[in-house]
Structures are given as structure tokens and as C-alpha cells.
Structure 1
Amino acid sequence: MTSQHLQSGQITSSNLIISNLSTTPFNRSPSCKIYIPPYQAFLSGMEIVHEYAKVRSDFGRQCLFSDRHVEMLVDIPPNPKLASQFVLKTTRDLGVQGCYEMSEHEVNTDRFEYENQGINHVEGGWPKDINSLEMEQTIRFKKKVEKDEIYMNSVLVLGELIAQCVGQNNAVDIYQEYFKNEQLLDELQEVPSIEIVNKYRDRSKVKRSITCFSWQPGGGSKLAAAYSCLDSRKFTADMSADSYIWDIESPNYPQAILQATSQLVCLTYNPRDLNTLVSGCRNGQIMLWDARAGHQATGVSPLEESHTDPVYKAMWLESDEAFSASTDGQILWWDVRHLSKPIERLILDIKRKDDLDNALGAISLDYSATSPNTFIVGTEQGSVLSCKRAAEIPTERIICTYDGHHGPVYALQKNPFFPQNFLTVGDWGARIWSDEIKETAIMWTKHQNANLTDACWSPVRPSVFVTVNMDGWLDIWDILFKQNDPTISFKVREEPLCTVQVHEAGSKVACGSQLGVISLMKISSGLCIEQNNEQDLLSEILEREAKREKVLKAQRGGDESETDDQTLKELVLKPEYDFYNLLDSEQRRKQWETRQRHYK
């Protein structure tokens, strides 16, 4: 289309003009501009330009262009009707995402539901005319079958196969444990670690503290937890009194709900019965539970015959007997079959006058299964009492007193492997005691930054114990590895931790917080597998520390009869003598090295 055409107003919708065409060298890319001014572009005053570029090597035969005059190829007149239908579209902004749109969500898979059913196996396969309950008929029938040739041939064929299998089993002992008494290198080099496996939350609207744990005996997967609010400023009458039994594989809903009339402060599984528990309440009552009987308690002690303060500890003695401790200063023994009245009572009066006004409040309790007649009690005044259930004189039932904490003894437990040693937790540290030393502990941790609230021994490793504190930290101590600092510390929660309990297998640890959250953690195998000679090494450490305290006691004038003056002088002078000997030997070594360098 020429300029004359534009001036005259002759417009076509398909006029094609090719310009600026020229021959180019073979190695360059020829280009051309093609102008296609459609009818709409002409009305809007716009000019659409398309540029096409192509590498010369993509062409076929080389094109030879020549100049010539403009030639009209097609002339299509415009249609006036189409102009009336033209609509000018408004511009519209549209955002385009360069990647796939994705959303974050959580999905829980359906859990497989298990069901336990019993099957009765009865003897069958007898002919109709034989009564299997009649011994004479069965013996007669067996003798008849044993004489049958088919039976004899079957026995001979099967006998060869069985003999071959028996020979294979006798050739190699598949149950033999190799390397049983050798230390594994991987276990020695393993770095202690802790990881949170699951969390279980209090279902009530007003969150309560977890005051006690009890694992199901026999290595079971059930964990009973007592929920209560011991702070009278926060306690309300409408607060829930339910406690729960959790299956560690189901964190969403508890397996059983213990609906008590008063909040449970402590509870303990019967070691001889997987379904029976005894618990102590906030109002001082004792309750008996059977997980198979539903949500209600199967036995409750009368309020007038129970403790007058919260029951902080309740333990089983035998399958039908338990005893409890409370801050009212009493230890009560109960026959769980008849909870109408305690069968025995002990008032914790250290003056031995059985005066309840002078009694010390008990908040922790423990005993050794090897000596159930003797038990120890931790008091809220900071002392530990060693007591006997049966004594010739009632006033001598309190044997002795251990003083070592400035505040309440929140936790107390005997070592499962060394019952003569026990662990206590109070104020800002944990202490290990010996029955032979009454004045002071034989080992203790340094003061922590926060108050310790609970502790327990590992049931599989005699040198390992666990502590929790008000800052939400869990510490695992291995006194064979180091005694000044914990082997590993782990931040569990932001709120204070109230209680801790280790599973019987030793690989799982449950912690309860002040807001009712149970954190189930798994610890590394090095902390839950007993090392070689661990009991012997720990026994030597405990004996050494006990002897050291005896010597220090004798030096302070506590008991001069056990160690004479000559032995004391030798013990005091021996470190000084060793120190000067070490200095002399080091000085001689340096003089010898100086002479050697001089001669060279």
C-alpha cells in the first residue's frame, strides 16, 4: 500500500506490503518487516508490526531478491456492517502465578482397631461312636490305630523328616548369644540423645498439673496420670476431678477416665495386677480402681477415717495391702478389700511422743521390696525419716533422721540395685544418701538455676537417674561418667515440669508439666543398656564416698572411736607427702633434660 492509497482513503483489510528486502550474506540472518494494518488497527490509529528473524542456515536454497514495482495481489473492500458491531474492550489486569498453587494441611490416618477375643480349644477328630471323655474307649481306639499299617507307614515316613530337622537343630544353637560379655564399640562412641515421641494433653478446660505417674507393670504400654491443682489460690469448686490412663500409642484420647469425687494427687499400679490401682486424693481419701470395672472407683475410704490433708504418696505392700503418706503427719496402712478403716497408723513425731501437733508432714515415701518392714519418708520440713513398721516399743518406730535439704523433699527413691542408697530431691539439688551415714549425703549435685521438682532412678542402669526442674528442663545424670554435670540436658517445655517417671525398659521417659501436658521421650541406647561391670564400679564409688564421709566425720570429732589419731594423721599427711614427691620427681626430670641438652 502506498502513501497515495492512504491519502485517498482506500483501505483494504488484507493489503500486504513487503519492504526492506535485500540479499544478505550466507552467514547472516536476513530479516524482513511485514506490515498488516487491519481495519480495527486503522480505526484506533495503531500500526501492528511483526518482525520475523531466521538463521540463514535454516533456509533451503539461497534466495536472490530483485527490485520491482508494487503489485496489487488482493483487493477486498470493507464491510460497513462490521464497523457498527465493533466494541472496544477495556483493558484488564490479570495476575499470573509462575508456580503451582499449593496449600498446607495435616492428615491423620485411620488407626487400626485391635480387639482381644478368647478361643476355647477342645479335643476333636474322634469317631462318632467314641466318647472322648471316656478314657477306656480312647485308649482302646489308640491301640487299634497304632496297629494299622497305614499309620505305621506314615510314622516311618515322618520319622525320617523329623530326624533330619532335629539333627539340623542340634548342629547349631540358634539361641546362643555371641559377644555377650564384650563391649560394643558403637555403644561406647554413641552420643547421648533425647527426642520427643508423643504428647498427651489434659482434656479439661481448666488445665491442671500432673502430680504423679505410674507405668503399667510388666513393661506395658499404659501410663496412669494423676491431675490435680495443689495451689489453693487457683483451685475452684467446678474444676474437673478426672484423671486418665493413656495408651502411649493413642495420644488423642485416653484409654480410660478415672472419675473421682476429689482430684487425685497420686496413684500407683499394683505390681501383681495389671488392672488395679490405688490412689490418694486431695481431700485425704484413698481410692481403689479396677480398669475393667469402668470409670468409677471400686473402693473409697470414709472421709472421717482418712487423712486430713492431701495424700502425696500411696504405695502397694502386698496384693491386698497398701500404705499412704500425707502432710497431716500420718502414715496409714490399708487393707484394700476393706477401706472402712486403716489397719495401722504412724504419727511422724520425731520427739517420739505420738503428738500429731508436732508431726512432720510427709510428701514422699519409698521402701525396698527386700525389706518391706523398713521404709523412708521425705517431709516438707526438709528432713528424711527412716522408720520401722513393727518395733518392740511404739516410740522407737522412727529409727533416725537425715537432714540435708532446706525445703520440702519432693522426691525420694531407693536405688533398685543398691537398696542401702537412696536419692532425694529438694530445693536446688539432688542428693544420694547411704543408710550408714546419717549426718550428710555421700554425693550431691551442684546447685541448679531452678528448683528441682522430681527425680527417679533408671530401672535398668544403676548409675543413671533423671531430674526435672521449674524451668522446664530434664537432666539425665550418669555418675559413672561424670558427677558434677548432667550427661545430657533437654528443654522439654516452657512451663515448669512437675513429675517424671522412667519406663521399666529404660528407653522411654514421661514428663508431666504444670499445664497438664505429658511429654513422652525416647533416650539413646547408651543410657538404657547396662554397661559391663557397671554394678561393680558403682559399688566401689558408693563405698569410697561413704568411707570418705566417715573419715571427715571423725576429723570433725563426730566419732573418734572408729578411727584413731594415728590413722587420721596419716590420712591428712599422705596427700601432702604425695604432692612434694611429685614436685621432686618433676624437678629431677627437668634437671636431667637440661644436662642432656648441654652435653649435646
Structure 2
Amino acid sequence: MDITYQYTKRRCDFGRQPLFCEQGPDMCDSIATDVTEHKRYILRNPVHELIQNTSDFSEHYVNTRRAKYTQSGANHSEGGWPKDVNILDPEATQRYRRKVEKDDGYIHCVMALTNGMEHYVYQNNAIDMYQSYYKEMKEQPDVERIGMRTVNVYRDHDHRPVSSISWQAESSYHFAVSYVDFSDFYRTPRSTITAALWDVENANSPEAILHPHTTLFDLQYSPRDPNLLIGGFLSGQVGSWDKRIAGAPTHVSAPHVAHRDFVRNVRFINSKSGVEFFSSGPDGVCKWWDLRQLEEPTDEMIMDFVTSSFDSQSMVTASGVSCLEYEATIPTRFMVGCENGRVIGGNRKGKTPMEKLPFKIDAHLGPVWSLERNPGFLKNFLTVGDWTVRVWSEECRESAILWSPPLRYSYTAGNWSPTRLSLMLMCGIDGRISAWDLLRRQHEPVLTMQLPDPLLRQSFHDQGSIVTVGSRKGNIFLVELSLTLAQSEKNDKGMLTAIFERESKRERILEAKLREIKLKMRQAEEGSPKASATDIDPTLNDRDLAEATTDYFSQVKKELAAM
């Protein structure tokens, strides 16, 4: 097929040769400037105009007819036959077989293949492929593979530090983030004050933007309604949003009933309506609100711990709240972490100040940055502050039952895993995520992962396999944990119960001995005339202490042998 075409044209059809010469400009007419039109004239510089002064040509491609090829296999049940043998005639094929079998080459070929075929036949008869072997051997446990990896990063274009992260209810893969520039929030903010609602599947841009009227410190999803959010503002007010509307808040509390300082934490409480929550801040007051009526709080409580019924609470001596803890299964009780290092327990059913604040614990030397109960052991809770991580029991208020050694860099947040009860996840100012598993190690983390930014906040998903970590540069890292860090074994809860009971018993014994020693020292200072034999040795004839010591060392030996 000829795919070329020749264009021909005669020379006489080319036309005459153009001749050009230089000639000055000739003025044909002069029009004066219109002043009104001249004022409306706007000079555009630069000006880009597209001009096409050439002929248009087009090019077209045509595919020729294409040959189709297919690949097919053939099953040869027997060898090929010569052309002169009719394969449909049994007698002809039989005569040809007898002819080939008499050939010497055929006999030698069969004899050479006999040894190999005999070996495989004997091997097949000796081993039953369908039989289960080595049943008598004990089944070995699978090798534990502990690990975590960064799945995605959700970036803030203004690089604002993350102040709070909250996952949507009903095991949804959506989370809300609030950003606060801590160095400039008391003045007019230089950066934007918006909050973002992210979808795990889309890291390019948030699915919705919230526009508060002032800096937003905390943003939390409702555990019942997946479209309802609440937040605390710099002005001391609280407000709510509807995710379907986004934009500005739908409800905001009145300024005259707001907190005296900014609202650092907000939490939903377990109520019939599902729209009640409480808030706290550095002013040292916790206020309870109802979204149906935000004109005034339904209740408030001053975080001033008193030791007698004659003392009165005052805002002057109240402790500023740095973090809140609320467990839905205990609807009337809550705990607050204070800026002076205390953990104060609260009870809304109390009538007197002593009943409303039943206990306090001097947990840390500085502010308590995180406070959370263990989801399987509600009497035990975790605190993060100064340069240590501590696990407490409500039965032992003098000292923690477990604690970490002093760290080189302080932790900024800590949480219990919702699915593996013995796992604590920490994030630090040095950019490290540390996983502490109390059943594996208690003196150091079982796994540490380095991230590029200083970390401030973190939040577990309900499934326990992923966690969001917020940094100082506004990045949200989505971290995935391995199955060994996300799932509990069948014996884990019993082993963790034994650890908590053993350490709690040890601390109770030490607290009792310490109180006894202090009492004896006080009696000695007051000039007590009598002194018993136990004054010389406080542990003399103490049967409980001897039993506890024996029990403790036996448990330690068992755990060391198991390791």
C-alpha cells in the first residue's frame, strides 16, 4: 500500500516576486482626544495577545488492519505417529508398536529410564502426602513482631501547633483538630484561628473548616452524635458546631457567665440527653453546661481542696486545671490534673466541699499534662508530668505503684491503648513515640519511633491499631501499630491484674509503715514516756510484712523464670 502522496505545481502558478521598498509615514487624518473617554482609559502593561496569521494544516493517522494472534495449548496423550500410519485403524497402530518395540534403541531407552522411575515410585509409596507428621511435638508460639509505622501526614499550611485531637464516634475514620499558636494567643493572633475536620482517606485538604470567633483551644466530638462538636475558646466561653454546617459555631455561651481565663479542656458527660458537657481552665473552676441552654452553667465547682468542713473554698487558692479525665461508666465522678502537679478527684453527688473533692494526690513537680484511667482497670490511672510517667491506684494515694525513670526529654502526652490494656503510648518534645508495655518491660519502652517534629498531642482510635499524633509544626501523623501492640492475649488481663494487685499491696504496706514511723517520731518529739519494743525495730513481729515480703519475692522469681 502506497502511503506517500506527491504535490505538484507549475512554476507559472507561483506568482510574481514581491518587491519591497522603504517609504515614510503619511498622515491621513487627525482625531482629537476625548477627555471623558481618556479618563476611563486604563493602561495595561504587559499585554499578551495571541495572533494566528498562517494557514491551518491538519494531520491524521489511520491504523491499518491488525492481525489477531492467539496462543493455545495442546494435550498429547501419546506420541506422534508417522504420516503413513492411520491412527484410526487399531491394527495398523498395533503393527507399528510391535515394530518399534523390537528396535534396540527403544529397549536401551526404557532401561535407562527405569532406575529413575523406580526411585520416585518407591518414594511415593514411603511417604503419605495426606498424613499429618510431628504431632507429638509441642506447638511453638509465633514470633512476636513489634513495630509501628507512619501511614500518612496531614499538614497545616500555617504551621500552627496542635492543641487537641478528637476522633469521631461510631468507629469512623474522621477526626477534628484545633490549632493554637501558644506564643501569641494572648495578643491579636498573627495566624489564622480556624480548626479543621480531616478524613483519613484524604490528606490533601480537610473536609471541613470551622471558623470560631476567637482562638479555639479544645475541640471534641460527641460520643453519641457524630455530627456534634464542642469547643473551648480563649475568651472563656464554650460553643458547639454541627459538622454538616461547619463554618461559625451554632451555639456560644454568654460572656458574663464564662470562665475568667481561657478554656483549656471540654468533655462530654454521660447524660440522657447526650448534649451535656463540662469545661475547665487555669482559673480553677469546672463548669457544667447544657447545649439546649447556654445562657448559664447548670453547675460549677471550685478546684480548691479543703481538709475540714469548717474551711471554705476560694478562687484565690484554687488550683488551675491543666487536663481533665472523665469515664462514662462512672457518670458522677471525674478527675482533674492541676498546674501545680496535683491530681484532684471530684464527685458531683457531694453536698459539702469535702464530699465534692474527696481526695488529692501530689503526683508531679510541675503541671500534669495527661490524665487517663485504664479502660479495663478503672481504679488505676496514668499521669504524665515533669520528666516521668506514673501509674497510680485510688487505694494508694501517697505514692505511685509504677513509674518510669527520669527521662532526658519530657513527655507531653500519654494514653492507654483501648484494646491492649497493658500498653501505654507516649509522645515527647524530642519527636519520639514510645510504647510502654507493662507485661513485657517496666523499666524502658518496648519500642520507640522517631518523628521529625516535636510532638504535643495524641489520640487513639477506638480500634486501637491507629493513633494520630500532633506536632508543634501543625503536622498530624497517622501511626499504625502492629497486631502485637494492638491486640490482647487471653492471659494478659489476669497477668496485669496480678501486677497491679502486687504493686498496690506493696505500696499499702509501705504507707502503713511510713505512717507508723511518723507517729512514733511525733510521740518522741512530744516526750512520750513509754517506748515499746517495736520502737527499736518497727518491723519486729510484723506477720503481715513478713507474708507480703515472701509473696513479693516469690512473684518476682516466677516472672524472672518465665522471662
Residue range with higher mean Cα deviation, 308-317 or 472-481:
308-317
Is contact 1:466–1:476 with CA below 8 Å preserved after alignment? Answer: yes
Change (3 A) 1:394 1:457: same
In structure 1, the residue matched to 2:479 is 521
Asked if the contact 2:264–2:281 (Cα under 8 Å) also holds between the matched residues in 1, the reply is yes
Report if aligned partners of 2:163, 2:180 keep a CA contact under 8 Å in 1: yes
Q: Which amino acid aligns with 2:542?
A: Q
In structure 2, the partner of 1:350 is 305
* Equivalent residue number for residue 156 of structure 2: 202
Kept after mapping to 1: 8 A contact 2:506/2:548: no
CA distance 1:429–1:285, shift in 2 (3 Å) = same
Contact 1:354 1:395 in 2 (8 A): no
Quickly say closer, same or farther: Cα 1:487–1:320, change in 2 above 3 A: same
Could you say what secondary structure the match of 1:539 adopts?
Answer: helix
Note if 1:496 corresponds to 2:454: yes
Q: TM-score, normalised on structure 1?
A: 0.62
> Would you say the 8 A contact 1:555–1:568 is kept in 2?
no
User: 2-side partners of 1:265 and 1:468: how far apart?
Assistant: 19
Give the equivalent residue in structure 2 for 1:592. none
CA distance in 2, matches of 1:252, 1:576: 55
Paired amino acid for 1:336: L
2:546 aligned to which of 563, 570, 575? 570
Which 5+ residue runs of structure 1 have no aligned equivalent? 1-181, 579-600
Residues 229, 235 of structure 1: 8 Å contact kept: no
Structure 2 match to 1:455: 414
Q: Tell me which amino acid in the other structure corresponds to 1:369.
A: A
Task: Provide, for residues 12-48 of structure 1, a one-character-per-residue CA deviation record: whole Å limited to 9, x for no partner.
Answer: xxxxxxxxxxxxxxxxxxxxxxxxxxxxxxxxxxxxx
1:226-237 to 2 correspondences below 5 Å: 226-232=178-184, 236-237=188-189
Asked whether the equivalents of residues 507 and 522 of structure 1 are also in contact (C-alpha less than 8 Å), the reply is: yes
Gap runs ≥5 in structure 2: 1-137, 520-538, 555-563
Work out whether residues 183 and 531 of structure 1, in 8 Å CA contact, stay in contact via their aligned partners in 2: no
Q: Is the Cα–Cα contact under 8 Å of residues 353 and 395 in structure 1 kept in the other structure?
A: no
The SS at the match of 1:224 is strand
Q: Which residue of 1 aligns with 2:141?
A: 185
- Please point out which of 211, 217, 221 is paired with 1:265: 217
Structure 1 SS opposite 2:292: coil
Match of 1:309 in 2: 261
Residues 328-368 of structure 1 show CA distances to partners (whole Å, capped at 9, x for unaligned) of 00000000111111111101112352210110000111122
CA deviations on 1:529-585 (whole Å, 9 max, x unpaired) are 111121111111111110000111122235999x9952256259859999xxxxxxx
Does 1:381 pair with 2:340?
yes
Letter of the 1:430 counterpart: V
Following superposition, the deviation at residue 479 of structure 1 comes to 0.3
CA shift for structure 1 position 191: 2.1
Equivalent in the alignment of 1:321: 276
Q: Which amino acid aligns with 2:475?
A: V
Out of 511, 517, 521, the position equivalent to 1:553 is 511
Q: What do the CA deviations read for 1:44-96 (whole angstroms, capped 9, x no partner)?
A: xxxxxxxxxxxxxxxxxxxxxxxxxxxxxxxxxxxxxxxxxxxxxxxxxxxxx
Q: Which deviates further from its counterpart, 461-470 or 551-560? A: 551-560
Q: Which amino acid counterpart does residue 463 of structure 2 have in structure 1?
A: A
One-letter amino acid of the counterpart of residue 203, structure 1: H
**Residue in 2 that maps onto 1:280:** 232
Check the 8 A contact 1:553/1:559 in 2, yes or no.
Answer: no
Equivalent in the alignment of 1:341: 296
**Structure 2 counterpart of 1:457, one-letter code:** W
Distance 1:229 1:564, change over 3 A: farther
- One-letter code of the match for 2:494? D
Letter in 2 for 1:354: Q
Output the amino acid matched with 2:326: Y
Q: Output the amino acid matched with 2:376.
A: F
Give, as a single letter, the amino acid of the residue that structure 2 aligns with 1:257.
Answer: I
**CA offsets per residue over residues 476-495 of structure 1, 9 Å max, x none?**
111011111111001012x3
Alignment of 1:358-373 (within 5 A): 358-373=317-332
Change (3 A) 1:480 1:575: closer
Structure 1 residue 214 and structure 2 residue 170: aligned? no
Partners of 1:449 and 1:467 lie apart in 2 by 14
| Partner of residue 499, structure 2 | 541
Q: Please give the secondary structure, in 2, of the residue aligned with 1:192.
A: coil
Q: 1:270 to 1:572 in 2, by over 3 A?
A: closer
Give the corresponding residue for 1:467.
Answer: 426
Cα gap change, 1:387/1:223 in structure 2, threshold over 3 Å: closer, same or farther? same
Separation in 1, partners of 2:553, 2:477 = 54
Any residues of structure 2 matched to 1:77-96 within 5 Å, and which?
none
**In the alignment, residue 398 of structure 2 is paired with which amino acid?**
E
CA distance 1:530–1:328, shift in 2 (3 Å): same
SS of the residue corresponding to residue 252 of structure 1 reads coil
SS at 1:356's partner residue?
coil
Inter-CA distance 560–538: structure 2 relative to 1 (3 Å threshold): farther
Query: Which SS does the other structure have where 2:331 is aligned?
Result: strand
Provide the residue aligned with 2:351 in structure 1: 392
Q: Is the 8 A contact 1:426 1:452 kept in 2?
A: yes
**1:396, CA displacement in angstroms?**
3.0
SS of the equivalent of 1:324 reads strand
- 2:372 equivalent among 413, 417, 428: 413
How many Å apart are 1:285 and its aligned residue? 1.3
1:527 aligns to what SS in structure 2?
Answer: helix
Larger Rg: 1
Q: Alignment partner for residue 403 of structure 2, among 427, 440, 444? A: 444
* CA distance in 2 between partners of 1:272 and 1:559 (Å): 51
- Any conservation in 1 of the 2:509–2:545 contact (CA below 8 Å)? no
Change (3 A) 1:509 1:574: closer
State which of 293, 299, 311 in structure 1 corresponds to 2:245.
293
- Return the offset for 1:308: 1.9
| Residue correspondences, number | 391
Q: Distance in 1 between matches of 2:426 and 2:454?
A: 12
Structure 1 residue 438: Cα displacement: 0.9
Helix, strand or coil at the partner of 1:363: strand
In structure 2, the CA distance between the partners of 1:184 and 1:201, relative to structure 1 (3 Å rule), is farther
The 1:234–1:209 alpha-carbon spacing in structure 2 relative to 1, beyond 3 Å, is: farther
SS in 2 for 1:526: helix
**Structure 1 residue runs of 4 or more that deviate by more than 6 Å after TM superposition:** 575-578
Distance 1:558 1:332, change over 3 A: farther
Give me the CA root mean square deviation: 2.5
Q: Provide the secondary structure at the position in 2 that maps to 1:385.
A: strand
Matched to 1:300, the amino acid is V
Distance 2:391 2:491 in 1: 21
Report if aligned partners of 2:267, 2:326 keep a CA contact under 8 Å in 1.
no
TM (norm. structure 2) is 0.66
Tell whether the 8 Å contact from 2:279 to 2:287 is kept in structure 1 after alignment.
yes
Q: In 2, distance between residues paired with 1:184 and 1:531? A: 15
